[in-house]
Structure 1
Amino acid sequence: MTLILSTWVKFFFLFAPFFVVSMFLSLTKGATSQQRGKTANRAVMAAFLTSLILFFFGTPLFEVLGITLDSFRIGAGILLFLSAISLVREGVRVNAEVPDDQRDDISVVPLAIPTIIGPATIGTILVYGAELEGTAVLEGLAGMVLALVCLLILLHLASRLERLLGNTGLNILSKVTGLILAAMASEIVLSGLQGFISRSGL
């Protein structure tokens, strides 16, 4: 249960939910509540299927490419750190109204990919999936699914959140998410460096 909760928290912030909500609101501007609900469902389902593949694909990928998990930790951590810096510095600056005839297309691109599942998220999911073994894999997967369910709930409540928090409130929460992601990135990089040093016997 502890692993499920910790994985849930990590993935919740990894998906940058408040940035996703802001992007979702902008992309579905002028849409009805029913249209927004369908778009949210499709986007999270696409993100789930993508995450599921990545979660189980990490170890075989590293073996085929001859990349150690520690090396990938360092690379993914740096990429996640850059993503966190972008969130902290720039916040949410989105203005992308989409025509009605194209609205069905946005659920996968750009909402699921690369907004929910971006390059930094892909690398981090690969690392987390490769780190877990045995029953821990199922617990980690449960945590990831819980995080996506929470994201889906936030997207369905996006209009209410916009009225309650406004753009400024969502921006502040996005920046806080960026700070947490920066801390997570540091942990991933340090873990990779520690493993690399131990393996090298330095």
Structure 2
Amino acid sequence: MLHELFSVYLKMLVLYSPFFVLSCFISLTRGHSTKERKQLAWRVAIAVLIASVLLYLFGRTIFGIFGITTDAFRIGAGSVLFISALGMAQGKSAVQPDSVQQDVTIVPLTIPLTVGPGTIGALLVMGISQPHWDDKLLAIVSIALASFTVGLVLFLSHRIERILGEQGLQIVSRLMGLFVCALAAQIIFSGIKGYLEL
């Protein structure tokens, strides 16, 4: 059980890409005080948790309404996730200076930076492929731990920025992009395998 919990936690952490979000968080909060940054970090963590759990739990309903097969959604979600991850791996900026608003908790920090289209797709697929409540509970605990980790990384943004520097953050962000690319490829291959009944 602990092995499964840790496995789902790591997948969620890779999907959330906390160091990519951290680099965007630092850019968006340049004028904020340390106290404001810390409060914002936990608000983002709570928003990520709520959004992720809702998507995970109500994935089956969404599939039922639109009549989409799980395998088709896996292929689509994996493709979107791969495109997003490719941008991360290439070091493309997800935040434009003119998009900075007063409250950046929900948009853009929670959606689309932490819970982007690929993550949404992965959560929906995960929700529909785990019909039993013991699996769902395990996934929700993993999501909560991963959301807390994102919050913790953002909470420590000032220290991490000082230790890693801007180039260090870019390197870590690009590495996370490579991991997300691999996860996206796995989702796509699972969808193709299921669709072709291999």
Paired position in structure 2 for 1:191: 190
Residue in structure 1 matched with residue 52 of structure 2 by the alignment: 51
Whether the 8 Å CA contact 1:132–1:140 is kept in 2: the answer is no
Q: Are residue 10 (structure 1) and residue 11 (structure 2) matched?
A: yes
Normalised to the residue count of structure 1, the TM-score between the two structures is: 0.91
Q: For residue 133 of structure 1, report the CA deviation from its aligned partner.
A: 2.7
Calculate percent identity across the aligned residue pairs: 38
The amino acid that maps onto 1:153 is: L
- Unpaired runs of 5+ residues, structure 1, are none
Whichever residue aligns with residue 83 of structure 2, its letter is L
Q: Once the 2 structures are TM-superposed, how far is the Cα of residue 90 of structure 1 from its aligned partner?
A: 2.5
Q: Structure 2: which 5+ runs fail to align?
A: none
Aligned to 1:42: 43
Paired with 1:98 and 1:71, the residues of 2 have a C-alpha distance of: 34
Which residue matches 1:113?
A: 111
Flag the 1:93–1:63 CA change in 2: closer, same or farther, 3 A: closer
Q: Deviations over 1:140-177 (max 9, x none)?
A: 11111111111111001001110100111111111111
3-state SS of paired residue (2:97): coil
> How many residues in Structure 1 have an aligned counterpart in Structure 2?
196
Runs of 4 or more consecutive aligned structure 1 residues displaced over 4 Å after TM superposition: 91-95
> Are the structure 2 counterparts of residues 72 and 176 from structure 1 closer, same or farther at C-alpha, using a change threshold of 3 Å?
same
After superposition, the Cα gap between the structure-2 partners of 1:127 and 1:93, relative to the gap in structure 1 and judged at 3 Å, is closer
Alignment of 1:80-95 (within 5 A): 80-92=81-93, 94=95
**1:53-202 equivalence runs, <5 A:** 53-92=54-93, 94=95, 96=97, 102-103=101-102, 105-134=103-132, 135-198=134-197
| RMSD over equivalenced CA pairs, Å | 1.7
